[in-house]
Chains A and B, each alone.
Chain A
Amino acid sequence: MSYYFAIIGTQDNPLFEYEFGTSKQGGDGQPRFAEQARHLNQFVLHSSLDIVEEVQWTNGQLYLKVIDKFFTNYISCFMTAGNVKFLLLHQPTATAGGGGGGAAAASTRNSTSVGANPTSPQTEEAIKNFFNEVYENYVKAIMSPFYKVNMEIRSPVFRQRVTAAGRKYL
Chain B
Amino acid sequence: MVVYSFYIFDRHTECIYSKSWLPPAHDPTGAPNSVTAARPSSSDDAKLIFGTVFSLRNMVRKLGGDDDAFVSYRTAQYKLHFYETASNLRLVMLTDTATLSMRNVLHQIYINLWVEYVVKNPLSPVEHKGGAGVRNELFELGLDQFIRGLM
A and B touch in the complex (CB under 8 A): no
Q: List A residues at the B interface (Cβ < 8 Å).
A: none
Q: List B residues at the A interface (Cβ < 8 Å).
A: none
